[in-house]
Amino acid sequence: MTHGRAGMTLIELVVALAISGAAIASGYQAYATMSDRRSVAAERADSIARAFNLRATLTRWLSNARLTVEEDEVVFRGVDAERRPGRGEPPATDLVFLTSARSPVGDRGTIVHLFVAHDSDGNGLTAELSEWRGRRTARLQLDPSIDGLSIEYSSLLGERSEPTRSWVSSTILPAAIRLRFSSSRSGALPPLLRLPLTVRLDGSSVVPTRGAM
């Protein structure tokens, strides 16, 4: 009478451990790959959300750009980099306007200074906000990946007219404005920021005078 062999030989044990180790390693690699893909997807989603919010914010500010009455004049000023007078300063395109849209410094009028910063306070597309007839101020880094900005202004809508690269006036707003963003780093901008942003300005009304507020 023979007895069945109990247990495993050393060779069988080694083979079993090797197979188990390979399975565990394969599972860990699959999990790591899946985790990396999830991280990349999350980063892309965050990038899209930030780009969408930036475009929405700029559209809201610009579409609510306003002029003021003569005795409390605020100038709409947009200067292209090539036309900016040079005094040893780096070329820069900037835009200053008054908006009636709500902002972090107030909801009854904000002066917005939009530009690309290259200084110790931060880099990238930046907005300096000042409360109109108030004291509150704020500096917002809108997007650090944007290091180039160009702006075009249109005086007419629905007609063929050459856009201008600068606009300075206290009495007339451009009919539309187009912003283009750029970056010196390849692939730094999300696709949504590579598209021009065109905003129609509604200059049909003015901000109330001091006595009417």
Q: How far apart are CA 185 and CA 5, in angstroms?
A: 69
How much is the pTM?
A: 0.72
User: Is 82 a member of any domain?
Assistant: yes
- The answer to whether 143 and 182 have CB atoms below 8 angstroms apart is no
If you average pLDDT over residues 63-83, what whole number do you get?
76
User: Is 27 a member of any domain?
Assistant: no
Q: How far apart are CA 203 and CA 179, in angstroms?
A: 18
What does the pLDDT read at residue 20?
74
User: Is 12 a member of any domain?
Assistant: no
Tell me whether residue 97 is exposed, middle or buried, using C-beta atoms within 10 angstroms of its C-beta: 0 to 12, 13 to 18, 19 or more: buried
- The pLDDT confidence band at residue 210, using thresholds 50, 70 and 90, is very low
Q: Which domain holds residue 148?
A: 44-212
User: Is 199 a member of any domain?
Assistant: yes
User: Is 137 a member of any domain?
Assistant: yes
User: Is 31 a member of any domain?
Assistant: no
Q: Which helix (H) or strand (E) holds 189?
A: none
**How many other CB atoms are found less than 10 A from the CB of residue 66?**
22
Q: How far apart are CA 12 and CA 32, in angstroms?
A: 30
In the chain, the number of structural domains is 1
Closest CA to 165 of 62, 93, 60, 59: 93
What does the pLDDT read at residue 206?
46
What does the pLDDT read at residue 209?
43
Residue 212 confidence (pLDDT) above 60? no
If you average pLDDT over residues 32-41, what whole number do you get?
69
What does the pLDDT read at residue 207?
46
The mean-pLDDT minimum among 40-44, 59-63, 195-199 falls in: 40-44
If you average pLDDT over residues 178-198, what whole number do you get?
89
What does the pLDDT read at residue 75?
85
User: Is 20 a member of any domain?
Assistant: no
User: Is 11 a member of any domain?
Assistant: no
Q: How far apart are CA 145 and CA 189, in angstroms?
A: 6
- The pLDDT confidence band at residue 53, using thresholds 50, 70 and 90, is very high
119-135 pLDDT, tens per residue?
A: 777 789 999 999 988 89
Q: How far apart are CA 205 and CA 23, in angstroms?
A: 71
Query: Which residue shows structure tokens 């009304």?
Result: 205
If you average pLDDT over residues 67-95, what whole number do you get?
68
What does the pLDDT read at residue 96?
94
If you average pLDDT over residues 65-94, what whole number do you get?
68
Higher pLDDT, 194 or 14: 194
What does the pLDDT read at residue 208?
46
If you average pLDDT over residues 208-212, what whole number do you get?
42
